[in-house]
Amino acid sequence: MKPLYTNEEYNLAKSEDYLNCECYHCSSSFKVMKKQITHELKSNKNYIQYCSPKCFYEARSIKILVECSSCSKSIERTKGIIKKSKTKRFFCNCSCAAIYNNAHKTHGIRRSKLEIWLEIQLGNLYPDLEIVYNRKDIINSELDIYIPSLNIAFELNGIFHYEPIYGVNQLNKIQNNDNFKFKACFDAKIDLCVIDTSSQKYFKPSSSKKYLDIIIKIINTRLR
């Protein structure tokens, strides 16, 4: 709220007296009890900003231009959404959100038993070949397996990449990120090989060997 009272009027007023304030939305004058104003001043929060519920909802529905945190495109968001946001990051679509979150993820990287098993096998088979795993700095998104000297990368796509196990929205986010990886690898001149592992319901070395064989065949072709 904007005060329309002087410091002298505030000091002379009793706790139950009303003082004039200005509505942030319509700029009309309305009265607020001194003890409420005092509470706001002490808490340093603006609870009483509007003269009526109508002004409150109208003000919060006003759209403001903000920048997409991923692609920097200008997008509209209401004042209410901006105020509620804890991160103050906004995205123009699910793809941009997925790209940003993958690029800035600093913890919680989960690796499947298959990925760990493949890393062990490949390390034993190619001890002199640099192979990196779960790197995010190459294309600004995580690559499961990347071999710099051969310019190839491998993605192990399980059932979550093809079916809405956790809902359609989550599936769309995953597939948007998959599309981003394809384009980013293409731009970086990296051959991205996607291996569909959705048929493996539970990890077993016996059922994982076929995925290892695919990777070995591609690597050996490049090494010739």
The pLDDT value given to residue 104: 59
Domains and CATH numbers, the chain: 1-60 (no CATH), 62-92 (no CATH), 113-223 (3.40.960.10)
pLDDT of 131 higher than 90: yes
Question: Of 17-21, 23-27, 143-147, 195-199, which range is least confident?
Answer: 23-27
The pLDDT value given to residue 85: 79
The pLDDT value given to residue 1: 62
Average pLDDT of the segment spanning 3-12: 88
Specify whether the CB–CB gap between 190 and 139 falls below 8 A: yes
The pLDDT value given to residue 108: 46
Q: How many CB atoms lie within 10 A of CB 17?
A: 13
The pLDDT value given to residue 224: 84
Share of the chain above pLDDT 90, in %: 41
Residue position matching structure tokens 């690898």 = 185
pTM of the model: 0.54
The pLDDT value given to residue 101: 65
The pLDDT value given to residue 152: 96
The four Cα atoms 81, 82, 86, 92 give a dihedral, to 10 degrees, of 80
**Calpha distance 65→77 (Å, rounded):** 7
CA nearest 64: which of 50, 85, 95? 85
